[in-house]
Structure 1
Amino acid sequence: MSVRVGILGATGAVGQRFIQLLDDHPTFELAAVTASEESAGKTYREAAKWRVNTPIPDDVAEMTVGATTPDDVPDDVDLLFSSLPSGAAAEVEPDFLEEGYVVSSNSSNDRMAPDVPLTIPEINPGHLDLIEVQRDERGWDGALVKNPNCSTITMVPTLAALDQFGLESVQVSTLQAVSGAGYSGVTSMEIIDNAIPHIGGEEEKMETESRKLLGTFDGTGVDLHGMDVAASCNRIPTLDGHLENVFAETEEDVSPEEAAAAMREYPSADLPSSPDQLIHVFEDLERPQPRLDRERGDGMQISAGGLQETEAGLKYNCLAHNTIRGAAGASLLNGELLVEEGWV
């Protein structure tokens, strides 16, 4: 089965990751790429300042970039991946949804909307049933599905594994790579020999999105998980890979060994881009590390380590590749799940 797909915002950092991940994909055939009006009409090679660590696929390089409107996307495209800035996405995604397109979006707008699935396929695939609620309430023929923020998706799989012990509260401090800010998001003068102890909007995203992802779908909406979440988000001078220090309190006493086993045994999804093992747990207290471990599972695996007891519960570290697992790869997995579940 071949599914024709398009990318909205194809020339940016996440859009380029989409193109890299879609190359030789067993199910998806890239049929359309869009960008700003300034790029429309150019070949992709001319429009994109390519920065990914593999060459532009030859067939994509010669594709003509369209403007980001439904008129510039062929009618036979079955699924769209959106990597638009959130402001632009909020304006144009509804136009595609009204025209009947299914959109798997990495953009942050509408993630917490009560009728929009915020989905990690391994964690809460059943939340896709919100699409029926969404269509009834908004009158769309299409469907909008979001993946979470790159820092949220690094932590939540480990929390899902621990939830069997009764998660009560979570505190997290992040060490986030510069690629998470986009190519021009942080200048060299700001970040070299430095760390920035605040990332606008990031803390709120982690604190709210994690509770929705681990919440319960009751047929009409999602009841947020009852745990308390507090986040502190920091930018550091690594290129890729978000490292996070997590402190978790659970209702039941849980040893580091029990927590490690729960993470190792947490099931992956049976999708083309899923890693064989969702969470790899290191026994070495000095792992995971961004440079050494961000590419595990082709960048789709979560790494964890440093599991230790504290007076309040557990502490540990977790890591994910922020532009693969935390962005384009997350949307790609959601697209694969939409196909698997018959929404596309």
Structure 2
Amino acid sequence: MSRLSTALLGGTGVVGQRLAELLARHPWFKLKAVYAGKTAGLKYQEVKWHSEPPAEVADLEVLRLEDFNGGYDVVFSALPSEVAGRAEEHAAEAGCAVFSNASSHRMDPDVPLVVPEVNPEHLELITAQRKLRGWSGLIATDPNCTTVGLVMALKPIASEYRIRAVRVATLQAASGAGYPGVPSLDLIDNAIPYIPGEEEKIAREARKILGELDGGRVKEADIRVEAACNRVPVLDGHLECVFIETEEPVSPDHVMDLLREFRGLPQELKLPTAPDQPIVVLEHQDRPQPRLDRGAGSPPGMSITVGRVRRGSSAASLLLTLLVHNTIRGAAGCALLLAELAAEMGWLS
């Protein structure tokens, strides 16, 4: 098929640049424009890059966000949440299919909040969204980067066991705060035991993603989710220590098999950005580690890594540690995979 014309809103931040890297040689989407605020008027290669800008898009001029008027098949949003809401609505009103990393619309009842392997059926909300809002475009969102890894690990477990409660403590990389992010004097030789809004996002988003469609809405999963989030001096890769309480006795060996064997619709459809094995299980006692394991999968960083799967204090409890690359699988890669899924399912027609 011919490549779909694509725009990137907020393309100069950490996640926006990751999206540009993934889009540069994408077989389905052609990045034609980048929109931003303060850097408008510069060549894309002239903004502050955190790696080498892809040659395919280096000479694009960064356009003013205020000048966006549609005209694209697909729009990716990596905008800050304080400006994303209206900008994304404007793009959908203009007939664009919007795939957002921002939190602005995640919890809207008519907006799909999707991790493609976990709840692809939630894209059906687009029908209700178009009817309610009267636009031909759409808005679909991916969750907080930490939530992505958590629900990917929970999905295969929930297919065999009834989960009552989940508690998670996170060790989140500096890049999760964007650029310039947390001041170096705050983070070097330190850890910060609070990330504003993060704990609440994880709880709300996980319940929505693991919920079921019910008459054009999502009935949230009846699971207690509690989180404690910490910023640590690691560049990329969020580590999560997870405690799971189930209704019935749980077998760690069986859970490891469930995780290894888990495949979703993106794998079945062989989407370009889908890793062959979305969950990599390690049996080493000291893994996963961000430096060693954040690049898991193909494309690199698109698989989560799970280790230290073990029984908790009761037969109906389980502990595990997982790692998700926060800017790839947890953000840019998840949005791109979601757009591929929507295209393959016919939502972009």
- Compute the TM-score of the two structures, normalised by the length of structure 1: 0.96
Report SS of the residue matched to 1:328: helix
State the 1:41 CA deviation.
2.5
Match of 1:124 among 119, 126, 140: 119
2:4 paired residue number: 3
1:160 paired residue number: 155
Supply the distance in 2 between the matched residues of 1:326 and 1:122 (Cα, whole angstroms). Answer: 13
Relative to structure 1, the CA distance from residue 331 to residue 291 in structure 2 (aligned partners, 3 Å threshold; closer, same or farther) is same
Relative to structure 1, the CA distance from residue 165 to residue 172 in structure 2 (aligned partners, 3 Å threshold; closer, same or farther) is same
Match of 2:58 among 43, 61, 65: 61
Relative to structure 1, the CA distance from residue 275 to residue 120 in structure 2 (aligned partners, 3 Å threshold; closer, same or farther) is same
- Compute the TM-score of the two structures, normalised by the length of structure 2: 0.95
Q: Which amino acid aligns with 2:290?
A: P
Moved more, 266-275 or 161-170: 266-275
Asked whether 1:226 is paired with 2:225, we answer: no
State the 1:65 CA deviation.
1.3
Equivalent positions of 1:140-151 (< 5 A) are 140-151=135-146
Residues 172 and 245 of structure 1 are in contact (CA less than 8 Å); yes or no, is this contact kept in structure 2?
A: yes
State the 1:42 CA deviation.
2.1
Match of 2:100 among 93, 97, 105: 105
State the 1:61 CA deviation.
1.2
2:301 paired residue number: 299
Which deviations, in whole Å up to 9, do the C-alpha atoms of 1:141-187 show, x marking residues without a partner? 21000000001011111110110211110000000000000112201
Report SS of the residue matched to 1:338: helix
Match of 2:261 among 254, 258, 265: 265
1:50 paired residue number: 49
2:276 paired residue number: 276
Asked whether 1:217 is paired with 2:216, we answer: no
State the 1:58 CA deviation.
2.0
Residues 32 and 74 of structure 1 are in contact (CA less than 8 Å); yes or no, is this contact kept in structure 2?
A: no
Asked whether 1:237 is paired with 2:233, we answer: yes
Supply the distance in 2 between the matched residues of 1:169 and 1:206 (Cα, whole angstroms). Answer: 13
2:347 paired residue number: 343
State the 1:74 CA deviation.
5.9
Identity, in percent, stands at 49
Aligned pair count reads 338
Supply the distance in 1 between the matched residues of 2:70 and 2:97 (Cα, whole angstroms). Answer: 13
Report SS of the residue matched to 1:220: coil
Supply the distance in 1 between the matched residues of 2:271 and 2:168 (Cα, whole angstroms). Answer: 29
Which runs of 4 or more aligned residues in structure 1 lie more than 6 Å from their structure 2 counterparts after TM superposition?
none
Which deviations, in whole Å up to 9, do the C-alpha atoms of 1:274-323 show, x marking residues without a partner? 11001011111211000000001110001000011112400010001000
Residues 66 and 73 of structure 1 are in contact (CA less than 8 Å); yes or no, is this contact kept in structure 2?
A: no
Residues 263 and 279 of structure 1 are in contact (CA less than 8 Å); yes or no, is this contact kept in structure 2?
A: yes
State the 1:73 CA deviation.
5.4
Supply the distance in 2 between the matched residues of 1:67 and 1:334 (Cα, whole angstroms). Answer: 26
Residues 130 and 219 of structure 1 are in contact (CA less than 8 Å); yes or no, is this contact kept in structure 2?
A: no
State the 1:99 CA deviation.
1.1
Residues 243 and 320 of structure 1 are in contact (CA less than 8 Å); yes or no, is this contact kept in structure 2?
A: yes
Q: Which amino acid aligns with 1:218?
A: D
1:114 paired residue number: 109
Match of 1:253 among 249, 254, 261: 249
Supply the distance in 1 between the matched residues of 2:24 and 2:96 (Cα, whole angstroms). Answer: 22
Residues 6 and 73 of structure 1 are in contact (CA less than 8 Å); yes or no, is this contact kept in structure 2?
A: no
Residues 144 and 202 of structure 2 are in contact (CA less than 8 Å); yes or no, is this contact kept in structure 1?
A: yes
Report SS of the residue matched to 2:259: helix
State the 1:252 CA deviation.
2.0
Q: Which amino acid aligns with 2:175?
A: S
Residues 70 and 95 of structure 2 are in contact (CA less than 8 Å); yes or no, is this contact kept in structure 1?
A: no
Q: Which amino acid aligns with 2:293?
A: D
Report SS of the residue matched to 2:157: helix
2:181 paired residue number: 185
Supply the distance in 2 between the matched residues of 1:133 and 1:337 (Cα, whole angstroms). Answer: 19
Which deviations, in whole Å up to 9, do the C-alpha atoms of 1:43-75 show, x marking residues without a partner? 1122x20103xx212231111111124x54562
Can you give the 5+ residue segments of structure 1 that lack an aligned partner in the other structure?
none
Supply the distance in 1 between the matched residues of 2:274 and 2:309 (Cα, whole angstroms). Answer: 25
1:321 paired residue number: 325
State the 1:272 CA deviation.
0.8
Supply the distance in 2 between the matched residues of 1:219 and 1:278 (Cα, whole angstroms). Answer: 30
Which deviations, in whole Å up to 9, do the C-alpha atoms of 1:209-238 show, x marking residues without a partner? 001111001231000000100100000000
